[in-house]
Amino acid sequence: MFIGYSISDKHIQNIIKDVCLCCRDNIEKIKGNLIFLERAKSDSKTCTESILTYESTSVPYWCIKTDDFGEVYTLIKSERKIPVNLFRMFKEQLYQLTLTGKPTKNIQLIDADKIEKNSDIEFLVGFGVSKFSEKGYDCIERKEILEDVLLNNKNYNANLIIERTMKLLLRDSVFVPIYKYLKLIGINSNQDIQDKNLYELFKKCIKIKYLSNYSDINTKHKINKYSSNNQKYIDDFKSIGKKNITGIIEHSKEKQNKYYALNIIPMLGRSIEEKDKKLLLDYLIEVHNSLQSEVDTASTKVALTNFGKVVCYYDRITYGWD
């Protein structure tokens, strides 16, 4: 759109001519989109269509004459468009905001009555739904819980993880780490489990179907349930000279299977030194990153299952209690 310019202006004609020469293959896109807006000398309003011809190219254009440009601006106004890459960034941050309710540098939760007091607001999605973020906890997947236990990168509300997420995950998933979130809400013993009325949920999470009372949890909840019960792996573990994380990982490399250690690491039980816990965490993060790029095969699925078990083992020995 040329605002305030006349088609009779030679400079304007040269500009249009150059545009036509540059866009020979896309000239159809220009047709109908060339508009001249001129100030009318009276209150009369006209809108006429004409044709410009350069060499063998004909380009139709519209000439609008009015004494009120505001009417034209209203007609041609469009909603602000957001570049795709920027929208993807907002989408990712909004997803995290929905899960955590924790504001980021660019996106925050804000009440409707405070909007006018904030002049820096650039992107408004919705307001008046301050409780909506809790609904995101119904959508959290087991793999996200496993990642959070290792990387501590989700900023989840531990109460909502226990009250909402765990109840849903335990319908379909096995081996879901829970001790980290129990510790965050102040649960550090079997008695605390009973006092907080979490006995049934905890029983499901540690996969104990029959339990007479909460005091029997440690008796029934054997830590070796996280390792393979295949006799081959049990015998192999017994043959390892250095029964620690380093020894098992080195043994796994000899097997030329980077995921082999997942089968036997939990056989170490609770008697694992603090430095070995750090080595175990580093190893699990390495496995996590590796599995992210693996092709979905039968062996990968087995590795993912074992990985989940060992993350639960790590969760137990790091955040659990005797």
Q: What is the pLDDT of residue 310?
A: 95
pLDDT 10s digits, 5-53: 777 788 888 887 787 777 767 777 776 678 888 888 777 788 887 877 7
Residue 79 confidence (pLDDT): 64
Q: What is the pLDDT of residue 222?
A: 64
Tell me which residue of 93, 95, 125 sits closest to 110, measured CA to CA. 125
Query: What are the backbone dihedrals phi and psi of residue 119, each rounded to the nearest 5 degrees, phi first?
Result: -85, -15
Question: Taken in order 198, 201, 202, 203, is the CA torsion positive or negative?
Answer: positive
Q: What integer pLDDT is reported at residue 217 of this predicted model?
A: 47
Residue 319: per-residue pLDDT? 93
Amino acid type, 268: L
**Pairwise CA distance, residues 281 & 287, whole Å:** 10
Q: Which residue has the tokens 């017994």?
A: 238
228 Cβ contact partners less than 8 Å away, ≥ 6 residues apart: 234, 263, 264, 306
**In the chain, where are the structural domains located?**
2-77, 81-127, 140-207, 230-319
- Distance CA(114)–CA(120), nearest Å, equals 12
pLDDT per position as a tens digit, 99-114 = 555 555 555 555 555 5
CA distance 76 to 35: 11
Task: Count how many Cα atoms sit within 13 Å of the Cα of residue 289 in the half-sphere of its side chain.
Answer: 6
- Mean pLDDT over all residues of the chain? 78
pTM to 2 decimals? Answer: 0.59
Which segments in the chain show pLDDT lower than 50? Answer: 127-132, 208-220
Burial 252-276 (b: 16+ CB within 10 A, else e): beeeeeebbbbbbbbbbeeebeeeb
What is the per-residue pLDDT for 278? 95
Residue-wise pLDDT for 166-186, tens only, equals: 888 888 777 899 999 999 999
DSSP β-bridge partners for residue 46: 65
- Rounded distance between C-alpha atoms, residue 143 and residue 233, angstroms: 26
